[in-house]
Structure 1
């Protein structure tokens, strides 16, 4: 009987990481609860801290990938564009942090590499960028936003939709302004916007949104 020792090692490492994160989150939440005059829900505070720590891990991972691939500025621009629209529009969120981590890092890295190589092609990028942006706006108008009910002002769906469209419009203005000198950045911004909107389309009927 053959064993996949590499797979076992990865699963073990992943489990250890989760345990460490949970312990740190719990101790931090416990400390904050004891320091505050009020007594907030320990579980809620622990969850918030855990989400914060996981976000830090993602950011550090992106920085690491950007440095070793010599593509850090482009990767950061793409990540910021993706995150900004995601904050406004919401979107599908994996129930497992492991899948969320792997897929999000892989997607953003892929977009940065794709943008870099696409910028080498002699195409009508003004037309293509505007077309991709208009497609993103159209999909937003059709599928709307997907905001979790626990988020502030989650009932103000029109506000989130307006904000999402505004960010998408601003993104194309920025892309067109910098296109001549930073074409890969322009392409990356529009690809990241479109990729985020796609999550609304494909998973609109799912329940797990942020």
Structure 2
């Protein structure tokens, strides 16, 4: 993706060098866009092949929506993020059959984790502290909404996402 993002950024810069950002900034932004498109496309294709198109996309959408407001830890590479996200999105329909039995438990745990730990934005996000209460409220409303929606796929998505907001204690070296 990085190679493709670079090629596109160079082409944009060559087409209009004065009214564009630096190649590095455009490449960074294009990387995010291309990786997101890749995740959506791969999830959709695998969902079609497995016969779980809508469930896979519902998981991906629900996971992403809660992640926007609650934050969470990031994997070390975009490739790892792509693989894990696609796997979770396409495996969830198979797991949601089992999670129906545990719907209230998973939804309750997810809700409690969000209440206690959200938001936990990435340190590079530059989100002002003054909007943290709004992010927390949005996260709580989203996590609580599944008690009304009562979807095992959404419940799994919220559960997995809630696990990513649990703050890890950093070791203090003395």
- With normalisation by structure 1, the TM-score equals 0.70
Q: Give 1:168 shift.
A: 1.2
- Name which of 25, 47, 50 aligns with 2:5: 25
The 3-state SS of whatever aligns with 2:21 is coil
Alpha-carbon distance in structure 1 between the residues aligned to 2:138 and 2:68 = 10
Q: Does the 8 Å CA contact 1:91/1:146 hold for their aligned counterparts?
A: yes
Q: Does the 8 Å CA contact 2:73/2:122 hold for their aligned counterparts?
A: no
Matched, 1:171 2:146: yes
Residue 72 of structure 2 corresponds to which residue in structure 1? 91
User: Runs of 5+ in structure 1 lacking a partner?
Assistant: 1-20, 176-185
Alpha-carbon distance in structure 2 between the residues aligned to 1:49 and 1:98 = 15
Choose 1 or 2 for highest CA Rg: 1
Structural mapping, 1:150-169, within 5 Å: 150-151=124-125, 153-155=127-129, 156-169=131-144
The 3-state SS of whatever aligns with 1:23 is helix
Residue 146 of structure 1 corresponds to which residue in structure 2? 120
Q: Give 1:45 shift.
A: 1.6
User: Runs of 5+ in structure 2 lacking a partner?
Assistant: none
Task: Please tell me the root mean square deviation across aligned C-alpha atoms, in Å.
Answer: 2.3
Distance change >3 Å, CA 36–CA 137, structure 1 → 2: farther
Alpha-carbon distance in structure 1 between the residues aligned to 2:138 and 2:99 = 29
CA displacement, residues 148-204 of structure 1 (integer Å, 9 cap, x when unaligned): 3443644222121111111112232122xxxxxxxxxx1111111011001122x63
Distance change >3 Å, CA 153–CA 96, structure 1 → 2: closer
Residue 64 of structure 1 corresponds to which residue in structure 2? 45
